[in-house]
Amino acid sequence: KNEVEQSPQNLTAQEGEFITINCSYSVGISALHWLQQHPGGGIVSLFMLSSGKKKHGRLIATINIQEKHSSLHITASHPRDSAVYICAVRGATNKLIFGTGTLLAVQP
Partner 1 sequence: DTEVTQTPKHLVMGMTNKKSLKCEQHMGHRAMYWYKQKAKKPPELMFVYSYEKLSINESVPSRFSPECPNSSLLNLHLHALQPEDSALYLCASSQVNRVDEKLFFGSGTQLSVL
- Select from 19, 18, 22 the least CA-distant residue to 9: 22
**C-beta of 19 vs 86, nearer to partner 1:** 86
65 counts as binding partner 1 under rule CB under 8 A: no
CA 58 to chain centre: 14
**C-beta of 65 vs 96, nearer to partner 1:** 96
Window 81-100: residues binding partner 1 (CB under 8 A): 86, 88, 90-91, 94-96, 98-100
Backbone angles phi, psi at 80, to 5 degrees: -70, -10
**C-beta of 14 vs 94, nearer to partner 1:** 94
Tell the smallest beta-carbon distance from residue 89 to partner 1 (Å).
Answer: 10
| Bridge-based pairing state of the strands 69-74 and 83-91 | unpaired
